[in-house]
Structure formats: structure tokens, C-alpha cells
Chains A and B, each alone.
Chain A
Amino acid sequence: MIKVENLHKSFGRLEVLQGITTTIKDGEVVAIIGPSGSGKSTFLRCINLLETPTNGRILINGQDITDKSTNIMKVRQNVGMVFQHFHLFPHKTVLQNLTYAPVKVKGISKQEAEKNGLELLGKVGLSAKAHEYPNRLSGGQKQRVAIARALSMQPDVMLFDEPTSALDPEMVKEVLEVMKALAHTGMTMAIVTHEMGFAREVADRVLFLDGGVLVEDAGPKEFFSNPASERARDFLQKML
């Protein structure tokens, strides 16, 4: 469970998050939407401490990760992240991308890491690409590898920052399918996305951010058919 309490984040004098409070339950899939610059990425990046919150608390499974004594590396091992631009390691093969962190930071054996890695590649439909280098893959394949890489650490939570925004339209679906399958396994997921159809279908809840404020926190049906705020209505009108 992720509990976010009055989360603030400023870059210099720019206050990007202005006190966000919400809870993401175990196994819940939350879509985060909102206009560009509203703080969606920053919110996500606070959850794995790629950004350090200026104020407020974030508790993951009861542990306050904003506490000074928290081991940041341990937190990140437990929170997977998928980026818009994949960020696969180009000098490592697909399988090495999946085994590097488990071997290096979790200290599991290479054999076991490879076994797990191949299994994950099977799940994202890329067993055949295990020994290719990333630049031989299409965008959709890269993103599926990136998802498998994040899963290789066996995290409790997965964060996605616009995972399909850099993809050609014909590749969006294969990535969304993988994410949907992951959601069905009961993974706790927070997804920043512009794919409204996906959010409506897969998300248990929608968070609508605008100007660093959590304007709406509602079920997808409710949010998409009857948004409470003017700002969400405007936004949806532009998106749909």
C-alpha cells in the first residue's frame, strides 16, 4: 500500500506539487492523467525517490520512505519504474538488461537470474530476443523489455511514466496488452498515461492532476462520464 500525505515538491521557487494526498491500495491500478506540466511525472518520481519530496510523507507498506534513515536503494528495489523512452542499457543484451540489477544488487546467482529473466521474457513475448542488443528491437519490443527489466527485481509496485507516448501507433497495443496482463496478476500499478481508453478499461481509479494539485480522485466510470470539476471536463474534451 502506498500512502501519500500532503506531498509537496518544489524546483527552486517553482512549486510543482502542492500538497497531494491519496492512497493506492495493494493490487490497485491507478491512472494518473492531467495536462502537460501538471506534475504527473514528478509525482511518480517522488514515489521511488528519483525526486526528493520537499515536504509531506510517502509510506510504502507502512515504511516512511521520506524519512532520513530510509535506505533509498532498498526502496527503489521494491518499486519498479518504466520510462517513456525505455532507457534500456544499449551495451547489454536483452537478457543482460534483465539480469544485471538482480545479480548486482540482490546478489542472486547468475543462473537463477537468467532463468527468471527468460521466464519474464516469455511473459512479455520476447523469448526469441534474449541475446539481441536493444537497438535491434522495435520501440514496442524495447518497452516490453523495459517492463520485464523492472519486473526482474520482483517489485511490489510498478510505476509507468507515459509508457506508450514514444511509440508508433501500431506498437501501442502490444505494450498495453502486457500492462493489462500485469494488472490482472494483482500488481500494484501507478500509470501516467494519455491513453484514455486504456485508463477507462484497466484502471481502478483515476487521479487527475492540474497545476500540481490533485483535482479529482475517482473511479474511472465516474471520472470519464461525469467529471466533477470544470478543469477535468475541459481536459477530457480536448483529449477525446
Chain B
Amino acid sequence: MTDIPSGSGAVARTTMDKVHGSLARRHRKQLILQIFGITAISLAFLMLFILLASLITTGHKAFTQTEITLEVFIDPEEISVERLPRGNFTNVLAAAVAADLPSVDQQDRAEMRVVGGILSNGAQFQLRDRVVEEPELIGQTITISVPVSDPYDQLHKDLLDRETPENLRRLDDTQIAYYDRLVENGAIAASLNTGLLTNADSRFPELAGLKGAIMGSFWALLTCFLISFPLGIGAAIYLEEFAPKNKLSDFIEVNINNLAAVPSVVFGLLALSVFIGLFGLPRSAPFVGGLTLALMTMPTIIIATRAALKAVPPSIREAALGLGASKQQVVFGHVVPLAMPGILTGTIIGLAQALGETAPLLLIGMNAFITSAPATPFDSATALPTQIFIWADSPERGFVSRTSAAILVLLTFLIMMNAIAIYLRSKFERKW
């Protein structure tokens, strides 16, 4: 070290000085870049946090449902075996509530109507179904839990302010007194709202559930998957591996990329005029919804599949070809299996997009009011996003929290699908 001539040492020093000067500049640039990146990510997280927080604060109330537990005497005078399934179930229930409220005069029809109003409109059907199933219950006293109607549900969840002047409130002082009395008796309690997932839609928020929408989305996505997955992958494999590279295939490629960018509402209009108008397929059917979504998902799958096929190293193809594998053996024995993680990820991301798609489903009528879940893909139904759209549009207070809850359910499904995509990708990931 010591015997290095001083001349070259000087040269080295000046070079190092220059490097030092530029080093400081480069570090500064890197720091700025890092700050930008961290800021951007923090902002994104903040937005996500605000979104989720607001959804959860409004939506969590919809995950419980206020119910009233009643000792119901099934009065043979009101309900007779011969007239089932008809019968005066409302009166029987009102009487059961009134039994808990000593101040109520059971002969006063107006008052009894107010008492009956504590219960959800669906309570009578719940009781009816129970009695139809076991007619021998007539004449007996049974214990049954039924939902309370929306204003009482709101009151129980502290969403109804008792300080509001009486004439502006949805419940007057007497009604609140009834409610307080029932709470005192321990008849009213909140329980987990399983109806949110097991009921279909309803005019009454306390009865409205997502079963119809979930089943509708399920059938639509199933149709979409069954059509777009094989067609998309087949098209991609053909275009990438077998099609001659010429003007026509270039033209097709450009058009597929364009198709992926077409606004979804256009696909909805297309579906409306072709599937429903021309082919006469039923309106509001998840099958038609699935066809429409397949149109939109297919370009995504084709693009993802082609990218995944391109990413398979050529050395693997050469190895197989060199051993005398045919083109088809190379593609299906080596290239496609190696591209599978990418293909599956692309497909699931495409399906997740389809799950959240609203506009095309609105156009084909999947925003109809339907109170039963679809049993087949050809029954009228809604889908999760259109259900959210319907509920967000409904005036009843109870639908506000249900809308948020429905959004949370939709987000849960989306997160689950993305988690599956990540899992599949890591499971099938192979090194070469």
C-alpha cells in the first residue's frame, strides 16, 4: 500500500472525490423516491382504512337483529286446521305481546294494532310456517322468537334518538313505553343476524337478507367461469402457440386488448339486445348475467394466459421438442402446466372483477325485487352488487346499515377470491 506512487494516489483521490460528490446526489435522489413511495402507500392505506372503518361503523349494526321472544297461545278460534295455511296469525301474535303489557286493553282494536306493529311483518309468516308444519300445535302455547319491526330495531340499536320531539319521531311516547316495558321483562334481545345470509330480499329491512343475491352471484359467476375459462384459455393457447403470426393474428390481438378496455355498460347493452332481445333468454336470470360477465372476463383471461405462456422459458420448449415431443405434447405437457399459476391468478382476478360488476347486470334486469333465492341459473335473481344498489336506493332507515353490511359481505367474498389466487400461485409456483 505504501509503495504506490503519489501521482497515481492523487488520481485515485480525485476520482474518489468525484464519486463522493455524485454519491451524495444519488443518495438524495433515492431518499426522495423513498419518501414519495412511503407517502403514496400511507395514503392508500389511509383511504382503505377510512373506507373499511365507515363501512364497519354503519354496517356492524346489521349483523345483529333485535328479536322478541313470546309465549304464543295458538288460539283455535283464530286459527283452525281446516283453514290452514290461512288464519289470523297477526291477532294471535298481538295478543301474545299484549300479554306482556298489562296496560294494554286487548279489546281496543287501534291499540292492538299498535302492539302488533312492534313485530316485524314477517313474524306472522314465521308462525304460520311453524303451525302448518305441526298442526297439532293449535290450542297449545309455544315459545317463539320473531324479529321486531324496523323502528324498534333502530331504537334498540340506539339509532333512534329519544330526545327528538315526539311528532318528528318514528315511535311516539306510548310505543317507546311499550318497548321499555318489554325490555324490562327481558322479552327483547339482540341476537346474531343469521337472516342477513339466510333470507332473501324483502320490503321490510328487518327481514331482508342476501341469500337471493349470493345465490344469484354464485350462479352468474359459475356460468361466467364455465364459459370464459375454457374459451379464454383455449383462445390464448391457440393464439400464443399455434396460430401463424400474420396480419390477421395481430389484428385479433389488438382487438382482444381493446375488448378488455370496453366499458362494462356497453357489454350490458349488447347482452340486452342480443341475449334477451334476439335469443329470447329470460330477463333477470343469473345465466344471462353470467354470459354477459363472461364476455367481459374472457379478454382478461386471454391476456393473463398469454402472458403466462410467454413467461415459460424457451429452454423448456426446446428440451421437450429436442426429445421428439410433438407441438401439442410440448404445449399441454410442459408449457401449460408451468403457466398454470399465472393462468389461475388471472382467471380469479377476472372473476373477482366480474363479481363486483354492476352496470351490465342492471341493464339485463338483475335488479328486480325478488323475495326468493334462485334455485337454478334461469330463475330471476339479483346479484350482490345489484342488491347493494337496490338497498342503497331504499328509503327505509334499516337498509342503511344493511347496505354497508352487504358491501362488507361482498368485500369478504372478493378478499377470499384473491386469497385463493395468492394461495394457488404460491402452491403451483415452480422454479426452473
> Are A and B genuine complex partners?
no
